[in-house]
Amino acid sequence: MEAIRVEELTKSFDELTAVDKLSFSVKKGEIFGLVGPDGAGKTTTMRLLTAIMEPTSGDAWVDGHHVLSHAEQIKEKIAYMSQRFALYPDLSVLENIIFYADIYGVPRRGLQDKVDKLLAFSNLTPFKRRYAGNLSGGMKQKLGLACALIHTPKVLFLDEPTNGVDPVSRRDFWRILYQLLREKVTIFVSTAYLDEAERCNRLALLESGRIIGLGTPDEVKRMMSETILEVCVHEPRKARDLLRSELGAKGVDLFGDRVHVVTNDPEASGERVQAVLDQAGLKVTTIRQVEPSLEDVFVSVIAGREDAEGS
């Protein structure tokens, strides 16, 4: 069963096409990721699907309701946590949740049980009397999620929910999202963090308003036909710059403290990398083939498109 269906969805602003003929579907009860850099069209897509903004053309349905003709029904079925989700700093954690319960028209009968469950669910029970303005970034995101869930939505839209949050809080936030799947909530999340995309059941890679990859993380990785050589070397930044000048900038990048080299001939490239770094006096620990990450795929696909457009 589909929670979201999108067909040729397009949104233009004068000469700019922010969302360009998107087509995909999201199954009920899965985490679907919309993944791409700033300016890729993620937030615009979110606003179209939550019936906040009207498309220029194309169609989309959320929980069986069309985004144009049934906008109000959609808003009753979903929760949308935007990048600037409005928490009230002068209200406590508990008061913020109660406030959103009133906004959503949640019945008072059984409300306390719901609130207690959400506080426990988000690990906010010890902080329920603390003012929201005094919470850390990660705790604010958890509170925003609790407020968004108070009316038990069928589809949860999260626009870059962990942007600017520390790694530990990001991990905790995703643990909560996985718990939500057991509640049969469909989660549509956008992120610029490609490591987070690995946590999604399925995902769409978005670039300049267009989908350039769609499927499970493993399916998207198989889009890449080239091989990745991982080079462990002293002074990796210096090694990257040197290899870029010798092998070409588009095939070499830094991943943490290691250098990744994209190649169609791993044996010959490995020998060339070793020779270049040896000549420069840079000590190489290992050169080995590794599975591509989503970041490798994204960089490779973008480079391929730029080469095709240039030719």
* Interval 8-31: pLDDT, tens: 999 999 999 999 999 999 999 999
Where does a domain end: 186, 221, 256? 221
pLDDT of residue 164: 79
Distance CA(149)–CA(164), nearest Å, equals 22
Whether residue 223 is predicted with pLDDT greater than 90 in this model: the reply is: no
CATH number at residue 259: 3.30.70.100
pLDDT tens-digit profile of 177-193? 898 888 889 999 999 88
**Do 93 and 147 reside in the same domain of the chain?**
yes
Torsion from C-alpha of 157, 162, 163, 165, nearest 10 degrees: 160
* Global confidence as pTM: 0.85
Sign of CA dihedral 165, 169, 182, 93: negative
pLDDT of residue 172: 86
pLDDT tens-digit profile of 124-174? 999 999 999 999 988 999 999 999 999 989 999 999 998 878 888 888 889
**Do 200 and 254 reside in the same domain of the chain?**
no
**Do 94 and 157 reside in the same domain of the chain?**
yes
**Do 186 and 246 reside in the same domain of the chain?**
no
Q: Is 277 exposed, middle or buried (0-12, 13-18, 19+ CB in 10 A)?
A: buried
Among residues 227, 257, 255, 249, the alpha carbon closest in space to that of 306 is found at 249
* Tally of domains within the chain: 2
pLDDT of residue 165: 81
Distance CA(221)–CA(296), nearest Å, equals 8
CATH number at residue 17: 3.40.50.300
**Do 121 and 106 reside in the same domain of the chain?**
yes
Domain that holds residue 106: 2-221
pLDDT of residue 200: 95
Counting residues of the chain whose pLDDT is more than 90, the rounded percentage is: 67
**Do 183 and 78 reside in the same domain of the chain?**
yes
**Do 209 and 232 reside in the same domain of the chain?**
no
**Do 166 and 198 reside in the same domain of the chain?**
yes
**189 within domain boundaries:** yes
**301 within domain boundaries:** no
DSSP 273-303: HHHHHHHTTPPEEEEEEEPPPHHHHHHHHHH
Mean pLDDT score, 223-251: 89
Mean pLDDT score, 215-236: 91
